[in-house]
Chain A
């Protein structure tokens, strides 16, 4: 089977796997990028969210064939030169997590949100993040963290 070429976190990777395999499995099991999580396999919880050419996708429902030749960014690709992304910093400041299992998906979703909407209202945040589940219920802190990150990004 021929490899499929995907750019992951800025690096071209040649992947040998069936084309209909979910991107999530390739990221976690083949590329050992385990920061992206399995939560439901049905696109209902958002734990597996990654950026595909800067837009969010549910990697559990995205077949490998669909990302051939495209650029994927995972939670591991957000740090720049060892510095946390402003959204990651805001999640730390607000302690917007408990068990942390939803956190990667939340942060990646929030990165996409503030890149498309530089000044989101709380209603915008709730609407855009509603597909991500935090079973620990840290929603008030996540809303605060996204607001905080957007404001920091505006200033910066």
Chain B
């Protein structure tokens, strides 16, 4: 069990790694390459992170097992919960509080979540991979149950009665026989609960939930509608300076020369050159910009490929060293020889950008050789270790704090802005805040990997699929295996040297692999002359997948309206990270082949629903974001430069792209809750592509889909 968890997290972290990052400072360069170039630090961190996250392996440091590390009850009964997870809009500040409230038998209002502060919370690998709900929530629930038991024992001892006769409810322990009751705060008197938990106590089954499972409003919603919530980019410290970084003319550029004499003449400006890092800091933003513009600099950048050559280069590019062997079942070649229907298809996905509306930001402050950084990251402990390595100080000298952040979508893993702010703050001797511009965000962050996927398949005349071969070049292995019953399969991921800095993105490669697979499934269904929904049901025996297909078909009235030249219906589905989904898209195509997405219906099942309103919000948002990748998002680049680093050139979904959206939640209270911030996005693109085919007979195999 422990090993399984460890393997899952290790594999997840490997897929989340951001490749092709910047080199930092001159003194550190050689060591830095040693540490970061090969990803050794990241892997090491993942390896012991594992042990810690599961808390169940024998080797390596483990997560704290005492209640006090996770949960504190003050004398007034207020509960503080400590977790390394961070809030980036996915609403876990609320959903985790609901689950603790449920087990501790207190109200959500009496709980505060302390999140992502490396000095205050137990170590955590990071907020990614939809892991908060399946791993952090049970961890906190265990601690809440244990705390409740301690409180019952305290009251039982005080009253001289059996623990089993007492009831914990509404933040107090009550003896029903005597009507005596004590508030939790009176029992603990603010002292830490030091009980050590050795085994997992029984949790409250979802069928009996009263607080979890409810559509609780976001806990601090009022702070967002009043503008009072302070994001990293809103923070300030006494004497704080504003930092700006001089960006190279292209990727992989090295600095040839720098003349900062004009910048230094501007009063109160600090200018730093360290290796290829060049930055300035000043007491206000306009002076910092003036100083940045006054730097005279020459860069040398190697020539690099453009987006026109991208897909060919991914296919022929040199393989990375960690190529994975194919996963083989039966013999695809033999099965294809006997197939009545044989198809081949090549699919591609472009590089796309997360474009979180709050750009990367960090505020750094030194106190001697101690460093405090506020920054919007999904991996506060990893950023702490990056800072420690960059400045050659022990990790315990670094404190990273993550204010609830203006979204991330997998795009805020590394600590680039944190390191930049800390370097400038060190030189200036004052706190420095760095907030990236939109153009920096579109250029110097990182991208969802582009990829090419090739599928070969064979089926019998009755629609039984007998052979399936799936190769993914560069985009990633997530959700690469098929959920359909196929006796002969070969599935392989081919990592290649990628031209751009790339890394984690909401759903990872599950989007690309679902796009290719569910498009190809549609092609096979049409070749076999079988309705695309029936074709999928015929080839899967997975009850959870069948259930969401049936639920979406009912809601969308699948098959009631026929596709025609101007209107098409498409369906797609699958599962990933414990979430099962089926999506139906209805599109309208005008004579000029302009496309309008009229309606998207999605059925989603992720076990027991923790907060139906929060879940709906995530699914609706995933559909909207998915429309961007499906229809128009693509990073254009040439010779180490991004050609469309502005919202006017890189189109993201807007109000006018909003279709009618309908969500069906399949609530399985008998199953463990799974995360849902990512997987609902994966069916959008193939459902639209299949609807376009149904209307026009044109098969689109590249994301974004180009209809005209």
Contacts and interface: CB of A to CB of B under 8 A. Distances in A.
Interface of A: 17-18, 21, 25, 28-30, 32-42, 44-45, 47, 74-76, 78-79, 84, 88-89, 91-92, 95, 97-104, 107, 125-127, 129-143
Contacts of A17: 284, 286
A95 to B, nearest CB: 6
Contacts of A97: 89, 218, 221, 224-225
Interface stretch (B316-324, B519-527, B652-660, B667-675): B652-660
B222 interface: yes
A21 B285 CA distance: 9
18 contacts: A34-B227, A35-B227, A37-B406, A38-B233, A38-B359, A42-B647, A45-B357, A92-B217, A92-B222, A97-B218, A97-B224, A98-B617, A103-B225, A135-B625, A138-B624, A139-B654, A140-B620, A141-B617
B228 interface: yes
B89 A98 contact: yes
A47 B357 contact: yes
A101 B229 CA distance: 9
B437 interface: yes
A109 to B, nearest CB: 10
A143 B407 contact: no
A135 B652 contact: yes
Contact of B286 (A21, A42, A47): A21
B646 interface: yes
Nearest to A87: B225
B229 to A, nearest CB: 6
B435 interface: yes
A111 B358 CA distance: 23
Contacts of A78: 226
Contact of B646 (A40, A125, A141, A143): A40
Interface in B221-278: 221-231, 233-234, 236, 242
Interface in B206-224: 217-218, 221-224
Contacts of A45: 357, 438, 647
Contacts of A44: 646-648
A143 B224 CA distance: 17
Interface centre among A21, A44, A84, A89 (most CB of B within 10 A): A44
B230 A34 contact: yes
Given A136-B407, A143-B655, A98 B357 contact: no
B443 interface: no
B286 A37 contact: no
A113 B566 CA distance: 34
B88 interface: yes
Interface centre among B230, B285, B359, B646 (most CB of A within 10 A): B285
B357 A74 contact: no
5 closest residue pairs by CB, A with B: A35-B227, A137-B624, A99-B89, A101-B406, A100-B224
Contact of A25 (B286, B406, B618): B286
A39 B655 CA distance: 17
A135 B223 CA distance: 19
A20 B506 CA distance: 39
B234 A99 contact: no
B286 to A, nearest CB: 5
Contacts of B234: 28, 34
A78 B618 CA distance: 28
A125 B625 contact: no
Contacts of B286: 17-18, 21, 25
A140 B658 contact: yes
Contacts of A137: 620-625, 653
Contact of B435 (A38, A75, A132): A38
B350 interface: no
B654 A76 contact: no
Contact of A143 (B226, B622, B658): B658
Given A37-B406, A100-B223, A138-B621, 4 more contacts: A37-B357, A95-B613, A138-B617, A139-B655
Interface residues of B, number: 57
A132 B655 CA distance: 8
A140 B285 CA distance: 36
Given A41-B437, A42-B648, A137-B653, A74 B285 contact: no
Contact of B405 (A25, A33, A92, A99): A99
Contacts of A32: 236
Contact of A126 (B90, B91, B233, B658): B658
Interface centre among B286, B409, B646, B657 (most CB of A within 10 A): B286
A21 B358 CA distance: 21
Nearest to B649: A44
Contacts of B483: none
A12 B614 CA distance: 41
B333 interface: no
Contacts of A74: 227
A2 B680 CA distance: 55
A112 to B, nearest CB: 15
Contacts of A136: 89, 407, 621, 624-625
Contacts of A141: 617, 620
Contact of A84 (B225, B435, B620): B225
A84 B234 CA distance: 22
A56 to B, nearest CB: 15
A40 B436 CA distance: 10
Given A98-B89, A99-B405, A139 B658 contact: yes
A130 B88 CA distance: 24
A78 B227 CA distance: 10
Contacts of A125: 655
A126 B623 CA distance: 17
B435 to A, nearest CB: 7
A21 to B, nearest CB: 5
A42 B318 CA distance: 39
Given A28-B234, A104-B227, A133-B654, A99 B357 contact: yes
Given A25-B285, A92-B217, A100-B224, A42 B620 contact: no
Contact of A36 (B227, B236, B656): B227
Nearest to B660: A140
Contact of A39 (B357, B409, B617, B622): B357
Interface centre among A44, A131, A137 (most CB of B within 10 A): A137
B161 interface: no
Interface centre among A36, A42, A95 (most CB of B within 10 A): A95
A138 B407 contact: no
B328 interface: no
Contacts of B222: 84, 92
B44 interface: no
B356 interface: yes
B226 A75 contact: yes
B40 interface: no
A100 to B, nearest CB: 3
B221 A95 contact: yes
Contacts of B89: 97-100, 136
A23 B152 CA distance: 58
Nearest to B290: A18
A19 B404 CA distance: 34
B595 interface: no
B244 to A, nearest CB: 13
Contacts of A79: 226
A107 B222 CA distance: 13
Interface in B107-143: none
Nearest to B622: A137
A88 B226 contact: yes
B285 A29 contact: yes
A126 to B, nearest CB: 4
Contacts of B224: 97, 100, 103
